Chain A
Amino acid sequence: MATVTFDHATRIYPGTERPAVDALNLHIEDGEFLVLVGPSGCGKSTSLRMLAGLEDVNAGRILIGDRDVTDVQPKDRDIAMVFQNYALYPHMTVADNMGFALKIAGTPKAEIRQRVEEAAKILDLTQYLDRKPKALSGGQRQRVAMGRAIVRQPQVFLMDEPLSNLDAKLRVQTRTQIASLQRRLGVTTVYVTHDQTEALTMGDRIAVLKDGILQQVGTPRDMYDTPANVFVAGFIGSPAMNIGTFPVLEGAASVGSSRLALPREVVSVLTEDDKGHITVGFRPESLDVVAPGTPDAFPVVVNLVEELGSDAFVYGSLTNDFGQAAAVHSGAGDAQVIVRVDPRQVPPKGATISVRIRPNEQHLFHAGSGERIG
């Protein structure tokens, strides 16, 4: 078990100018489950491969514990890539299947047996150790595959989108299995996914990457409640946060035809780059439906209502004074907002509702840089 450190780690593919991973600085604690998440091409898999030794490091270092492994061959890094290969050998017992990599490495038989038995206990496979894989259910076989990685007692587990080739049902099952297994084992784990829901459910901390640059790292709660910039705000959370850029007039943001009061200290930090605008984010669940004319409320025209039983979501549009849709983006698309409403009081399509952002639940960002103000 060990910490993992990316120290200004950079990867530039030959023939390209923009780094695939740009001076990544990330420290992962011993025993932590850290998820690297981001859209396709953000550098998360490249970062993982740099840690694995499958990708050259053009600048910076990679450390496992105190050891600089930047130039160390993959097989000498004491890491285990989990789920890369998990076909079980039909003629070997479950115990032999789990332990054969150790057998190849020349580990003494007694030690192999001991490690296999320990792993089997954690995986609830003890009673199957002397059976053949044929006798096991699908879920049990998957655990045998995990057992193979566990018995090697690596310092770090690496997982690169391990659920991507599973069907939806199995994905949820396996997700839970992996998370609880990691908790029991306490082995430092670095996990890559493009699915932010997976990241939020599984990680102790999440690191969001975009275009090779680390956007923010923090607990799921931190990332959800206090996104550091517009990208993270829109990426984390489902349905996505509503985000719009509005002009600032007399200390308030003009949201649609309404005014949203802004704290004085926020207005005072706006820069030239912001060009008199501010970016406001508000989650669907942060909106209250109120009576028209309520201060700070703004109208939304209902286009569609999604009724999910326990929740209902209104997909609607904002318009401003001059009849044009304001520059808003949400999970519903451009010029649309999503509002969570009481499923027992669903407004009809075409109606106009007044919504207000609950106090202190708005997120304010610089219109120029996208960085969080408050």
Chain B
Amino acid sequence: MSGTAQRLQITAANPDPALLDLPWHIPLAEWPAETLAALPRGISRHVVRFARLSGRVIAIKEIGETVAYREYELLRQLRKLAVPSVEPVGVITGRRAPDGEPLEAVLITQHLQFSLPYRALFSQALRPDTATRLIDALAVLMVRLHLAGFYWGDVSLSNTLFRRDAETFAAYLVDAETGDLHDVLTPGQRGYDLEVARVNIIGELMDLQAGEFLDDTEDAVAIGDALAVRYEELWRALTETESFGFGERWRVQARIDRLNDLGFDVGELDITTDLDGTSVRIQPKVVDAGHHSRRLMRLTGLDVQENQARRLLNDLDEFRAATDRQADDEAFVAHDWLTDIFEPAVRSVPRELRGKLEPAQIYHELLDHRWYLSQQEHRDVPMPEVVTSYVRTILPTRPDEQAVLGTRAEDLRDGETAAPPRGDDDFDPDQLIG
């Protein structure tokens, strides 16, 4: 407890009184192990630690006061803009050691449930294209940030958290310290952000290779270059102007469909015709990510990530066809799918195994497993059988991903859930400068 003459200044939207129980009078690097949650950290130039707070995990970063407030404000604004990023909890200043020596301010953010730093992903035996999928996720994140007018300044895998999203990943911004919010970014800013990202990612992958976490045969430079390619593709698809003749107006809908398919809704589409009306130009002006997740939310109330939503919606469509209910109101069918198919499947996973993956991710894997079993046995295997097989053979072998983060979910068993800290000396992620 703090028993010293501290005058802590806590800036937070919803201050949690439990914050006062943490040992703010001790420099963060010296916090006792029992206050900390053992989680894999990325490379950071600041001291970062994770701690438990009221049943959740928070990330604490020691940093200069002005910078802390600035980053806190930026993260708040990013949340308001619905950009995937960590949730800021607060800033604490006025820390002092018992001898009166002032200590650095801290920025506190909420740890993202079921998210993983990239190093943790590489430390498991994973699919060979993991690196590529991470890059794709990062490209999407960068495009969304840039559309919102946010210049990142220090894009890297270490500044990002990844969450499984069906067959791929979704990326979330963690560190906004070098960032800046503008109305619109200049091509110079976007280009520079991309170049910094490319160089940083290549460096991080090379570092993984040097530490033997990643195969030497993977071409780090090619993967970094792929980021730029993916970004440009997506950026063009979302923002470029298309021209066509008046007789090809179906291309307006085609463009919207393409954007929906990429997971974006079109908020505003600029359509101009030239003076003699023979050609049409369209350019999306406002695009909103989350097309599929919004639709699923509307139909079922489920709040899941974009690709997971896409998968579930597909399953819903199949259910609709299989039960011959195409003529019925979509909302009713969705409700029945939820109560008759989705929820029973997810609920039949035993309580003690639910901490392994998010529910929507479990369902996604069930669908995969169903496909696999059906192929093996040359018949349509019904879901209850699939679940039994999955729970018995697949799920127990999966690493405890929620527990990798040390978070307690509401329906997990009580007691310590954190995976033991990695004993690997080389895995020391605390690379500080200064």
Contacts and interface: CB of A to CB of B under 8 A. Distances in A.
Interface residues of A, number: 38
Given A165-B64, A165-B67, A15 B207 contact: no
A14 B184 CA distance: 9
B53 interface: no
A164 B426 CA distance: 31
B224 interface: yes
Contacts of B156: 85, 87
Contacts of A166: 64, 434
A133 B183 contact: no
Contacts of A170: 434
B192 interface: yes
B232 interface: no
A138 B195 contact: no
Majority secondary structure, A binding face: loop
Contacts of B204: 89
Contacts of B191: 73-75
Contact of B221 (A74, A85, A104, A165): A104
Interface string A22-63: 000000000000000000000000000000111110000000
Given A15-B183, A91-B211, A167-B64, A74 B434 contact: no
Interface residues of B, number: 44
Interface string A118-148: 0000000000000001100011011001000
A221 to B, nearest CB: 30
A39 B202 CA distance: 38
Given A55-B189, A85-B178, A166-B434, 11 more contacts: A53-B192, A88-B431, A90-B429, A103-B206, A133-B431, A134-B431, A138-B432, A138-B434, A141-B433, A165-B63, A174-B434
A100 interface: yes
B104 interface: yes
Contact of A54 (B154, B192, B199): B192
Given A74-B191, A164-B66, A87 B184 contact: no
B158 interface: yes
B210 A92 contact: yes
A15 B184 CA distance: 11
A86 B188 contact: no
A87 B154 CA distance: 10
27 contacts: A52-B192, A54-B192, A55-B189, A56-B186, A84-B153, A84-B154, A84-B178, A85-B156, A85-B196, A86-B45, A87-B156, A89-B204, A91-B210, A91-B211, A92-B206, A96-B210, A101-B199, A101-B203, A103-B206, A104-B199, A133-B431, A138-B434, A142-B433, A164-B64, A165-B66, A166-B64, A170-B434
A104 B211 CA distance: 18
B43 interface: yes
Nearest to A53: B188
B208 interface: yes
Nearest to B64: A165
Nearest to B183: A14
A91 B207 contact: yes
A141 B206 CA distance: 19
B188 A55 contact: yes
Contact of B188 (A15, A54, A165): A54
A167 B65 CA distance: 9
Given A104-B202, A133-B431, A165-B63, A84 B196 contact: yes
Interface in A153-175: 164-167, 170, 174
A357 to B, nearest CB: 37
B426 A90 contact: yes
B389 interface: no
A54 B431 contact: no
A90 B431 CA distance: 7
B188 A87 contact: no
A87 B433 CA distance: 7
Given A55-B186, A91-B208, A141 B434 contact: yes
Nearest to A13: B183
| Closest CB pairs A-B (n = 6) | A91-B211, A89-B207, A91-B210, A165-B67, A74-B192, A165-B64
A145 B153 CA distance: 16
Given A56-B186, A75-B191, A84-B178, A138 B64 contact: no
A87 B43 contact: yes
Contacts of B178: 84-85
B205 to A, nearest CB: 10
B195 A75 contact: yes
